[in-house]
Amino acid sequence: MGGYTGELTLVGEEPALPYQRPPLSKAYMKGEFAEERLYFKPAAWYEDNNVELILSTRATSIDRAERRVDLEHGGHLEYDALIIATGSRPRALPIDGAELEHVYALRGLADVERIRPQMVAGRSMVIIGAGYIGLEAAAVAQQMGLKTTVLEMAPRVLARVTSPVMSEFYEAEHRRQGVEIRTETSLSKLEGNDGAVTAAVLTDGTKLDADIVLVGIGILPNEALAKDSGIACNNGILVDRDARTSDPRIFAAGDCASRPLVHFGRSGRLESVHNAIEQGKLAAAAILGKPRPNEDCPWFWSDQYDLKLQIAGLSAGYDEIVVRGSPEDRKFAAFYLKNGTLIAVDAINSPPEFLASKKLIMSGAKLSADILADTSITMKEIATNAVAA
Amino acid sequence: MAKITYIDHDGTERVVEAQNGETVMEAAIKNSIPGIDADCGGACACATCHVYVDQAFMDKVGEQEEMEKSMLDFAENVQENSRLSCQITVSEDLDGLKVTTPESQH
């Protein structure tokens, strides 16, 4: 704790204690561990540290002049400083049948509790959207013995977030595992019987059996609370390097915030654990008047089957890809360079490539494609030489 | 159940009752032990739960898997008794375990 001794209240719309979301589409979805293991802290921690928890309660509006937050069940809280960490919500499927039973999104614990009982071996699951959530869920469903189909509008999986090299690798992997992947495919509607989904109908008329439909077509930032009170927003609540919004007493952190990406010369939202933790620290430090913590290289991970993907940096705008290792070995990395400088890496089962890249990206060192691709030189050597150069 | 002692880099000791099946990292987080960040929550993705294991327990904490080994290779101030605490599962055998946390996880 940063030494703060005043009152601290945490308001959350969900009933559960604050928890980790990444396992929801991975090990937790598979039922590998109990809900308690998702919690950041046990209930007693909040009591011991004088943090008042108000759960199952939405904050409905902010009165900035009165420095007051109104709560949905009546009552309000006054603040000296306010952090908005409202996260994001799944983009809704804009087609007929989206309201049928057994059509789900995957965002919170409650979603998993609804989906899991339906995930019975032999049933058909259609996943809309081949982003990380969709593909992670597909890996889980396939391993649980469901007949799994993934539909994607773009010509390749993960099109929005990574390069064709990675898309091709993951597409082949999922097919090898038995998942049916259909790219350049659009959904026309969902059909049901007795209110529950039974089929997904494509725009070309093809009808796919669907006992369960999972929609994973991206998320939208929950910015209404800020926007309605006149705080500047633009695809996210706009914040500065201290996570401060256009109101100096109000901060925003996590998926809902659009922040300066200092190493990449632009602003944007990052949907990741690293970003949520870092912005929380930035906001807390600013509120307590402490020095600004380091802004680290953005990083992400994804678990599918026995593949651990670790991502460092942001690859948008790359002009060169270098592959180190071989996809056939299920252990390789794709480096993304811009003007000879490393800006991102996708590392599959390759922690050294990931960890060295985190440092190399921050250093801005020039790197040659030949050296990065040369597996006879270790990543440690590459990192040491590059930083020294 | 196992009693685990976490020693921070200043030498301050904190003793925790850890449950079988949870990891040494989880027992630390639940009990607000400083010096372990565990940003990824135990996915072996971030290398921010680095600890030094008491020599007497090196055999009992089990072998490192390949992922952990290569993650540790890039952590700061690595020693031969370095481990990622999210990869050590608590059992009766670990009763009395002592681990020391490094000065920084980053």
The string of pLDDT tens digits covering residues B54-77 is: 999 999 999 898 889 988 988 888
List the single residue in A26, A299, A352 with the smallest CB-CB distance to B74. A352
Q: Which of B24, B40, B72 has the highest number of chain A CBs within 10 A, making it the mutation to test binding with A?
A: B40
Strand duo A103-105 + A212-215: pairing: parallel
Q: Do A120 and A206 sit in the same domain of this protein?
A: yes
The string of pLDDT tens digits covering residues B25-60 is: 999 988 889 889 888 988 888 889 999 999 999 999
Helix (H) or strand (E) run with residue A28 in it: none
Can you tell me the ipTM of this complex? 0.88
pLDDT higher than 80, residue A2: no
- What residue numbers bound the domain in which A273 lies? 8-89+220-288
Mean pLDDT of chain A: 96
pLDDT band per the 50, 70, 90 thresholds, residue A388: low
Asked whether A109 and A22 are in contact (CB, 8 A), the reply is: no
What string of DSSP letters covers B21-59?
TSBHHHHHHHTT-TT---TTSSSSSS---EEEEPGGGTT
**CA distances in angstroms from A290 to A237, A283, A293, listed in the order given:** 23, 10, 9
Inside any domain, residue A299: no
pLDDT value for B32? 85
Contact A42 B32 (CB under 8 A): no
pLDDT value for B45? 86
A20 touches chain B (CB under 8 A): yes
Question: A257, A288, A319: which is the final residue of a domain?
Answer: A288
B78 touches chain A (CB under 8 A): no
The string of pLDDT tens digits covering residues A93-115 is: 999 999 999 999 999 999 999 99
The string of pLDDT tens digits covering residues A272-309 is: 999 999 999 999 999 999 999 999 999 999 999 999 99
List the single residue in B26, B30, B45 with the smallest CB-CB distance to A301. B45
Question: A217, A234, A269: which is the final residue of a domain?
Answer: A217
The string of pLDDT tens digits covering residues A122-175 is: 999 999 999 999 999 999 999 999 999 999 999 999 999 999 999 999 999 999
A24 touches chain B (CB under 8 A): no
What is the CATH number for A382? 3.30.390.30
Could you give the CA distance from residue A228 to residue B55 in angstroms, rounded to a whole number? 58
Query: Given this structure, which CATH class describes domain B2-100?
Result: alpha beta
Look up residue A292 and give its two tokens. Answer: 């600004």
Inside any domain, residue A250: yes
Residue A293: closest CA among A319, A262, A271, A264: A262
Q: Do A244 and A319 sit in the same domain of this protein?
A: no
Please report, to the nearest 10 degrees, the dihedral formed by the alpha carbons of residues A53, A292, B32, B41 taken in order: 90
B65 touches chain A (CB under 8 A): no
pLDDT value for A389? 58
Q: What is the CA radius of gyration of chain B?
A: 12
pLDDT higher than 90, residue A220: yes
Inside any domain, residue A362: yes
Helix (H) or strand (E) run with residue A44 in it: helix A43-48
Q: Do A203 and A98 sit in the same domain of this protein?
A: yes
The string of pLDDT tens digits covering residues A332-385 is: 999 999 999 999 999 999 999 999 999 999 999 899 999 999 999 999 999 988
Q: Which of A24, A48, A278, A301 has the highest number of chain B CBs within 10 A, making it the mutation to test binding with B?
A: A301
Q: Do A116 and A186 sit in the same domain of this protein?
A: yes
Helix (H) or strand (E) run with residue A326 in it: strand A320-326
Name the residue type at position A98: A
Q: Do A185 and A265 sit in the same domain of this protein?
A: no
What is the CATH number for A268? 3.50.50.60
Residue A379 has what DSSP assignment? H
Could you give the CA distance from residue A356 to residue A351 in angstroms, rounded to a whole number? 8
**CA distances in angstroms from B87 to A29, B30, B66, B83, listed in the order given:** 20, 16, 11, 8
pLDDT higher than 90, residue A81: yes
How much of chain B, in percent, has pLDDT values that exceed 90? 65
The string of pLDDT tens digits covering residues A255-280 is: 999 999 999 999 999 999 999 999 99
pLDDT value for A94? 94
Inside any domain, residue A44: yes
